Structure 1
Amino acid sequence: MPVYIALLRAVNVGGTGKLPMPELRDMCEALGFTHVRTYIASGNVVFESRLAEASVKKKLEQSLEAYAGKPLGVVVRTATELAAVQQGNPFPAAAPDRTVAIFLDTPPPADALDNVSGQDAEEFRLGAREIYVFYKDGIGRSKLKIAAAKAGTSRNMNTVAKLLEMAQA
């Protein structure tokens, strides 16, 4: 059975995007997903489902909207796709906590990196359905804005590695 990783946008432990991870697990199980596991309180969930990726995304987004009363974005990857994200990291020697993959639903446009603002020491590259960013001076200090990344959600390479480990277990 396929293993999926769902990455939720705008989810945190407090404030407007609050979604406790036990509730996310229950939601996924109610949708018929099995072997559901969450990782840290920022909307990362690993599970199995016989459904196609698009159906998984649609069902989860519908359930999240019913819960939150507003649309919450979800990006879904298979375990194989997440492994490709990790292997495709163009900054393998960089600190994994300063390197992120911004996950998108579709391939980024070829000109996605032409219209960035606030760039200082950051480096970025396009992936299959990701934009990779290395924040040399740290994410917290960065003013970088990538318009093409607006609909995506980012995870650092430590989180990508942990989610992949969970998906392959």
Structure 2
Amino acid sequence: MTTTYAALLRGINVGGNRKVPMAQLRTLLTGLGHTGVTTYLQSGNAVFTADHGDEETLAAEMSRAIEEHFGFAVDVLVRDHAYLKAVREACPFPAEELEGKQLHVTYFSVPVDAGRFAEIEPAGYLPEDFRLGDRALYLYAPDGLGRSKLAEQLAKRRLIKDVIATTRNWNTVVKLEQLTAA
């Protein structure tokens, strides 16, 4: 049985560093035996179909191949359509009323509990806000991610240690769900 997945690469093509051209990424994923490979934007989003493996195995395989080909390590998360749809549907914020740049999802490699973020006092960041979901964190940042003081706190290494975390704006969250729909 084949499954369509999205691969989320962390921290590539930002500020001229860790360059991974999307055409080369498509070729690399095709070389791993995946079909229907497409990319979305330049920020490390790929959609592909696989007839073997699970999300963790596929992510590890891609990460190894990227390091071998490009010469640097890249964290990769792989998620199927059902998960991406569930994340979109579980959004605790009124996504349909917001601009895509105001709402973000940070995808985690493993479940995280609220205790990890207990030191953050949400009231001090209002109107910004965040909520946890299934291996995901939803962030409402009305002035965008780049100006968000709350995002800065949530991304502190001590809070996300031992976890792969990568963030996408709401437009990308929705598009990846659409692209993985069978």
Asked if Structure 1 and Structure 2 have the same fold, meaning a TM-score greater than 0.5 normalized by the shorter chain, the answer is yes
Q: Are positions 1:165 and 2:170 aligned together?
A: no
CA contact (8 A) 1:9 1:153 kept: yes
Q: Distance in 1 between matches of 2:14 and 2:109?
A: 24
Structure 1 stretches of 5 or more lacking a match?
none
TM-score (norm 1): 0.91
RMSD over aligned CA atoms reads 1.9
Q: Aligned pairs, how many?
A: 169
CA deviations over 1:117-157 (Å, ceiling 9, x no partner): 89623200001100110002222211232143463000011
* Identity over aligned pairs, percent: 37
Q: Which residue of 2 aligns with 1:152?
A: 165
Instruction: Give the drift of 1:74.
Output: 0.6
Q: How does 1:57-76 map to 2 (within 5 A)?
A: 57-76=59-78
Instruction: Give the drift of 1:95.
Output: 2.8
Q: Which residue of 2 aligns with 1:21?
A: 22
Secondary structure at the counterpart of residue 104 of structure 2 = strand
Structure 2 stretches of 5 or more lacking a match?
none
Instruction: Give the drift of 1:25.
Output: 0.3
Q: Are positions 1:120 and 2:122 aligned together?
A: no
CA contact (8 A) 2:18 2:72 kept: no
Q: Distance in 2 between matches of 1:28 and 1:124?
A: 34
Q: Distance in 2 between matches of 1:136 and 1:112?
A: 24
**Ranges of 4+ aligned residues in structure 1 off by more than 6 Å:** none
The aligned amino acid for 1:16 is: N
The aligned amino acid for 2:44 is: G
Instruction: Give the drift of 1:55.
Output: 1.6
CA contact (8 A) 2:6 2:176 kept: yes
Q: Distance in 2 between matches of 1:37 and 1:117?
A: 40
Q: Are positions 1:136 and 2:142 aligned together?
A: yes
